Structure 1
Amino acid sequence: MRAFTDVFIKHPVLAIVINLIIVLVGVRALTQLPVQQFPDVESSSVIITTVYTGASAETVRGFLTTPIERVVSAISGVDYVESTSRAGISTVTVRLKLDHDSTKALAEVTARLQQVRSELPTEAEPPVVEVQRADRPYATFYLAFNSSERTVPQVTDWLSRTLQPQLSTLTGVQRVSFEGSQALAMRVWIDPVQLAERNLSPGDVQAALQRNNYLAAVGQTKGNLVQINLLANTDLRAAEEFQNLIVAERDGAIVRLSDVARVELGSEEAAMIAKYNDKQAVYLGVWPLPGSNEIEVASALRSEMDRIRPTLPKDVEMRLVWDGTMFMRDALKEISKTLAETVLIVAVVVFLFLGSVRTALVPLVAMPVSLVGAAIVMLAFGFSLNLLTILAIVLSVGLVVDDAIVVVENIERHVREGKNRIEAALLGARELRGPIVAMTITLATVYAPIAFQGGLTGSLFLEFAITLAAAVVVSGFVALTLSPVMSSRFVHPSGHEGKLTKTVNHAFEAVRRFYERVLDGALAMRAGIVAVAVLITLAVIPLYLFSRQELAPVEDQSHISLFFEASPDSTLAQSNRDHLKVVEKLRAFPETDFTWSLTANNFGFGGLVAKNWKERGRSTEEMFGEVYGAVSQVPGLRVFPRLDPPLPTPGQYDVELVIQSDQPLEQLLETAGAVVGAGYQSGKFLYVDSDLKIDLPEARVVLDRERIADLGLDLASVGRELGTLLGGAYVNRFNYFERSYKVIPQIGDADRATLEPLLDLKIKTPAGEMVPVSAFTRIESSVAPRTLNRFQQTNALRVFAGVAPGVTKEEGLTVLENAARAAGGNDIALDHAGESRQIRHEGAALTATLGFALVLIYLVLAAQFQSFRDPLIVLLGSVPLAISGALVFTFLDLTTINIYSQVGL
């Protein structure tokens, strides 16, 4: 009976050509594959930021956050919506489901915001919408620029005009952002005393700026033959022009802006201070395009820096302070090294067992053809070369040679029985056609369920599963086409065994005899063996339940990040001084390469970047406890360190538990305190805290409505006058070297350093009388929440924690969940954010995936054996025993049940 394998044996050139085509196309595909750390999982967030300068947190929540939340929650693909309202700014974060199209979501959010725009206060700035990676809300690369002569606003302006546009044009770059920058602005520092003496109000200054700094589009003349564009100098472009602006006329004298204010080309209010080590800097963040080859982007960026460096001004220094591809490069280098070692070991083992270089060439040639052939499938599916696809290739090395080994040994057996090599190849290939097809389908089916698991595991391991299955399928094809052809030429007809082959065969014969004795003993005591097997099977449940679980094991990425909180009334300058003490503590560690920091008014971020692994004796995990001990001693700050997550998951902390409730904030604060206290008592955390804190000093300006009416004023005019003096909002913009910048009127820092001088500020009544603010207001001091947080449009707080060394994040999350249920009872609802959300959502998927895999394998084996009973013997006799053997190591705490060990199971 002829088989399709006969065609290739009788036409060896055809077999060689087909496999060479696989190699050539595969090599070409390899060069086209992008290189990334992990598969390209789209985990995105849409961030809506709205600024309402001078507004309280309650006003921001009621008039900005709530209407925005309401409309954006209805878009498709939303996982959850969370928001933060603080004084002057609203931030609504729409977290999308994994692999949901962020471009579509951005379009939907933008359209929804247009519907609600009329409901937002006219004084608020338009909402700013941007898409960020939820798992990495920061750039892949950061460049730090500092100058010995220029101010931060000047460095910012120079970068925005020169390097930012240049870097944005690099291949693979999506955008270039600023951190720690300050934009130029025309500052109009109002002198309230001079203003009152001239019987002028803040509104007069604002109106004068609006009237006299106006960008006019005049138009053009249009004759029969020519037309001329018309320009009018209705706008102001320099501080001197603003100073000469006429505000009013009093008693025949012109009052200019310089008479009642100090005008200077300054900057907007500093929102954040960036530092590299202890030097203030401006950061440029470079964001690669999704799906781009980040290693190539890194090389292009470094080349561009080398080109730019000679052109920099002498006073400007440039450093690449963060390269997010460094760990990726090292990890890919290590796994590539592992791949080379695996190939070498497999080659040696194949040679030892086959005993002949000629015979060993058959499976050894099949190995690279199968691995390179898998690259064709990877490119066709849009995959990348990453840690998981390369891991799949590493694991497939041992699998892809199996079919070829079986083929060559079967053909060699027929040669030893006296058949010539062509006949042996024809007969041997025919005999193995069915088993090889069945083996290939079985092995491919084993890993297929991983691709259907869903969630983070399914998204990450989809490429792993398909790559591994592709390599196995290609190896089956090679075993039925190329391997018989090579065997028909390479198998030695003499059957001569070398010394090494005899030694190996002798050892295996001894093993075979030992196995026969063990098998005879087992068959003699079948009941006992079955009982032991049942006990081992039942042990799977406790072994699993009492094993430590986590999403993924910690990896040394040479980085420890920090989040810190200062006193709620701390200024930016004071927070910066306190943060410098943290930096000094971090720089004292011998493993530190450099430090970075971003400091805001009463909070900030920072980090320690460690030296190369070869230059230090400890891992970042070993350093972590000591780092926390050092930074926690800094007075005036609460510091929360964290190791970078090993997987692309969102979140800032090891554990993030969300508590939702309609309770009053004071009662919710008690619940949070009880959970935090229970967390510390458990001993499983380095730190535990919540984001609900009611300690922000607040002064409420209470207006006497009747007195205001008596003076002929109204609440709107009073609010506008006070906002002009204190708010710091911009009036309009001015042109400075072809760029637009804000014009900001405000009283100086000295006039608003304390509460008392504010009552002496004067406002003009419609009758022309100047009255002090104290005539119709009083100030009441109180405390308010630092932020007002919501989750899924419900008031919520977040309890976050950093687990102690040796404690998994799953254990820590369970402790906090139990404490929250005990403290809040039925008045609260629990949810999760960050990595904790993945832990809870991924855990239940393992059982379903394992069951799905067993069903698929059972069906494949049933089709192969043509029996529904025989596969049960195979599965029941192997799967429970194998799983229990693996779980012994997790039970003994030698490893954990995590995303990688789940794939192994």
Structure 2
Amino acid sequence: MFKIFIRRPVLSIVVSLVIAFIGILSLFNLPITQFPSISPPKVNVIANYPGANNELLVKSVIIPLEQALNGVPGMKYIESDAGNDGEAALNVVFKLGTDPNVDAVNVQNRVSSATNKLPPEVIREGVKISREEPNILMYVNLYSDDPKVDQGFLYNYFDINIAPELQRVDGVGDLDILGTRNYAMRVWLHPDKMVAYGLSTDDVSDALEDQNIEVSPGKLGESGGLRPQAKEYILKYPGRYTTEEEYKNIIIKSSNGGNVVRLKDIADVHLGSEVYDIYSTFNGRPSAAVTLKQAYGSNARSVIMHVKETMARLQKDMPKGMHYEVSYDVSRFLDASIEKVIHTLIEAFVLVGIVVFIFLGDWRAAVIPILAIPISLLGSFIAMLVFNITLNMISLFALVMAIGIVVDDAIVVIEAVNVEISRNKLSPVEATEKAMKEISGAIIAISLVMASVFIPVAFMGGPEGMFYRQFSITMASSILFSGFVALTLTPTLCALILTKEQEHHVQLGFVGRALQRFNAKFDTGSRIYERLVRRTVRNKAFTMILTLLFCGLAYWINMGLPSGFIPQEDQGMIYAVIETPPGATIERT
């Protein structure tokens, strides 16, 4: 069946090149992450009720939304939180494997059905629905050397000038500026003065809504078709107030005698930030702290690179003294990890070549697995792309492990051909055909058995199953491609590269003499091992006791080993959490 690849070497080489080219294309299209995404999809629902405490938020906002969201397709559970800052947050957690985009649409539809049950203030503020992106890519801090620049200015500068540019970068799933420092007109009411004038907070809010509005005043002199008009005037209205003085002069109450009560008579008005809930510093200076999260299926290294390029371009337009700093990005650790894996892959290739050369004694035989192994690994990239496997620490570890497995098939073929050439004095082509006739069935069986060990693991559920799936599919695909390469490319290379006289090469030079001495020592060790095996096989009781002893020892060692989900690795970051008593202010904290 496989003689066609031996007699037509161009066919097997072309097939291998096609696998290699498709594998390279797949490699460049694989998403790169530190670890596979194991967290279930989450959709966040944020509602703001200005001035409300947590009890009011629970009664008027959270309960209606929970009733509407309960039972949304694919939902696992709902988390809700309400604080005294007027913000209610609901996190809808879905089952692992559901489509996050579909989940967000379903939540949007459920929230829309409950809008009429929410307070008017909440509807006016709007209910924000967003899909949570779990993979944090980087932290960016915007700061200034000017001591007069505060966090509010930095926040708004980033929000207006930088955030839109970064959100357009392909692969940025979410951008969050910590804290809500949008410019707002702060109105601090004096209760004693309001009581003296007989006013309530509703009177103040009604006055603000009635007088601080956007309207379309229309036109004067527009032709109505009844009589000709000489001129037409378009009326303009200045719109919402923008200065403190305009807000201070808003009339809250008036009497028939001409007396008026203005906002400045009962409140302090000044321009400030909408909320003072988070304070961020960078090296002791006020800063705007920004987190960027990776969109699902994107390449982490590529996204970080484009974000840095965008920030470097925007740096030219920043005010004097304003700078930015990328305080953390996952690519530093990821690049270091990938670099180590690449070094390991190279070392594995070199070691495989050395081992084959030492045991077979021919440099030609050592070249064959070095040429065949990359085809198997590149083929595994095709399977990774098909099954939505990312390049991460788990899949890269599987690739390193796969080298030791995929090389076995190539070595089996080379050794079989080498034996036929040495013992039967056949030509490389004849030796290859005879060897493949004997071992092709064994190679197919070995590949299928090895793959069947890993494939069932891919069907495990839960977060652990996601990790096992990455590992098992990578291993199984590399094993299957290795078997295919061992039946097609490796025999072709044996027929083309090996020579009939190759058994005499080891006798030439210093290397040949060293290999002869090694083979003599190895043969001696093999004979000792054979005698030991014969004695062990004859004594069945001793064999069983030894087997049970090793099983018990393995179990005892396993019980003493520490267990965990993901191994802790030093990424050069220290996180500290300091909690102050309930009710403490941001200044105290």
Q: Give the TM-score of the pair, scaled to structure 1.
A: 0.59
Aligned pair in 2 of structure 1 residues 433, 153: CA closer, same or farther (>3 Å)? same
C-alpha separation in 1, matches of 2:556 and 2:338: 37
Question: Which residue does the alignment assign to 1:317?
Answer: 323
Where in structure 2 are the equivalents of 1:719-798 lying within 5 Å? none
Aligned pair in 2 of structure 1 residues 228, 15: CA closer, same or farther (>3 Å)? farther
Cα contact 1:347–1:364 (8 A) shared by 2: yes
In the alignment, structure 1 residue 428 sits paired with structure 2 residue 435: yes
Question: Which residue does the alignment assign to 1:565?
Answer: 579
Give 2:280's match in structure 1, choosing from 261, 274, 277: 274
Cα contact 2:152–2:183 (8 A) shared by 1: yes
In the alignment, structure 1 residue 248 sits paired with structure 2 residue 253: yes
How many angstroms does 1:139 deviate by? Answer: 5.4
In the alignment, structure 1 residue 465 sits paired with structure 2 residue 464: no
Tell me the SS of whatever aligns to 1:563. coil
Gaps of 5+ in 2: 507-511
In the alignment, structure 1 residue 480 sits paired with structure 2 residue 481: no
Question: Which residue does the alignment assign to 1:527?
Answer: 541
C-alpha separation in 2, matches of 1:382 and 1:219: 57
* Paired letter, 1:245: I
C-alpha separation in 2, matches of 1:384 and 1:139: 16
Question: Which residue does the alignment assign to 1:187?
Answer: 186
Aligned pair in 2 of structure 1 residues 535, 566: CA closer, same or farther (>3 Å)? same
* Paired letter, 2:44: I
Cα contact 1:336–1:390 (8 A) shared by 2: no
Question: Which residue does the alignment assign to 2:509?
Answer: none
Cα contact 2:150–2:286 (8 A) shared by 1: no
In the alignment, structure 1 residue 439 sits paired with structure 2 residue 446: yes
Aligned pair in 2 of structure 1 residues 483, 239: CA closer, same or farther (>3 Å)? same
Deviations 1:284-326 (A, max 9, x none): 2222322111111111122222222232111323211221222
Gaps of 5+ in 1: 576-905
Aligned pair in 2 of structure 1 residues 266, 54: CA closer, same or farther (>3 Å)? closer
* Paired letter, 2:431: A
In the alignment, structure 1 residue 29 sits paired with structure 2 residue 26: yes
Tell me the SS of whatever aligns to 1:162. helix
Question: Which residue does the alignment assign to 1:113?
Answer: 111
How many angstroms does 1:196 deviate by? Answer: 5.0
Tell me the SS of whatever aligns to 1:379. helix
Could you say which structure has the higher helix fraction? 2
Aligned pair in 2 of structure 1 residues 410, 336: CA closer, same or farther (>3 Å)? same
Question: Which residue does the alignment assign to 1:292?
Answer: 298
Aligned pair in 2 of structure 1 residues 468, 63: CA closer, same or farther (>3 Å)? same
Where in structure 2 are the equivalents of 1:485-564 lying within 5 Å? 485-494=492-501, 495-496=503-504, 497=506, 498-534=512-548, 536-537=550-551, 544-545=558-559, 547-564=561-578
Where in structure 2 are the equivalents of 1:336-355 lying within 5 Å? 336-355=342-361
Tell me the SS of whatever aligns to 1:177. strand
Give 1:44's match in structure 2, choosing from 41, 44, 48: 41
C-alpha separation in 1, matches of 2:64 and 2:576: 33
Question: Which residue does the alignment assign to 1:129?
Answer: 129
How many angstroms does 1:535 deviate by? Answer: 5.0
Cα contact 2:137–2:300 (8 A) shared by 1: no
In the alignment, structure 1 residue 162 sits paired with structure 2 residue 146: no
Give 1:7's match in structure 2, choosing from 4, 9, 27: 4
Identical residues among aligned pairs (%): 29
* Paired letter, 1:300: H
Question: Which residue does the alignment assign to 1:152?
Answer: 151
How many angstroms does 1:565 deviate by? Answer: 1.4
Question: Which residue does the alignment assign to 2:203?
Answer: 204
Deviations 1:433-471 (A, max 9, x none): 101111111121121122112212221232322222222
Tell me the SS of whatever aligns to 2:104. helix
Deviations 1:337-381 (A, max 9, x none): 222222221221111111111121222211112112222222333
* Paired letter, 2:130: E
How many angstroms does 1:513 deviate by? Answer: 1.0
C-alpha separation in 2, matches of 1:199 and 1:539: 85
Deviations 1:274-293 (A, max 9, x none): 12232221112222322111
C-alpha separation in 2, matches of 1:40 and 1:569: 37
In the alignment, structure 1 residue 385 sits paired with structure 2 residue 400: no
Cα contact 2:458–2:465 (8 A) shared by 1: yes
Aligned pair in 2 of structure 1 residues 222, 301: CA closer, same or farther (>3 Å)? farther
C-alpha separation in 1, matches of 2:160 and 2:533: 80
Cα contact 1:143–1:322 (8 A) shared by 2: no
Cα contact 1:215–1:234 (8 A) shared by 2: yes
Tell me the SS of whatever aligns to 1:573. coil
Where in structure 2 are the equivalents of 1:688-727 lying within 5 Å? none
Where in structure 2 are the equivalents of 1:350-429 lying within 5 Å? 350-416=356-422, 417-429=424-436
Could you say which structure has the higher strand fraction? 1
Aligned pair in 2 of structure 1 residues 276, 245: CA closer, same or farther (>3 Å)? same
C-alpha separation in 1, matches of 2:132 and 2:38: 13
The Cα RMSD (Å) is 2.7
Tell me the SS of whatever aligns to 1:273. coil
Cα contact 1:149–1:315 (8 A) shared by 2: no
Q: Give the TM-score of the pair, scaled to structure 2.
A: 0.89
Deviations 1:656-676 (A, max 9, x none): xxxxxxxxxxxxxxxxxxxxx
Aligned pair in 2 of structure 1 residues 37, 227: CA closer, same or farther (>3 Å)? farther
Cα contact 1:148–1:316 (8 A) shared by 2: no
C-alpha separation in 2, matches of 1:234 and 1:304: 35
Cα contact 2:212–2:241 (8 A) shared by 1: yes
How many angstroms does 1:272 deviate by? Answer: 1.0
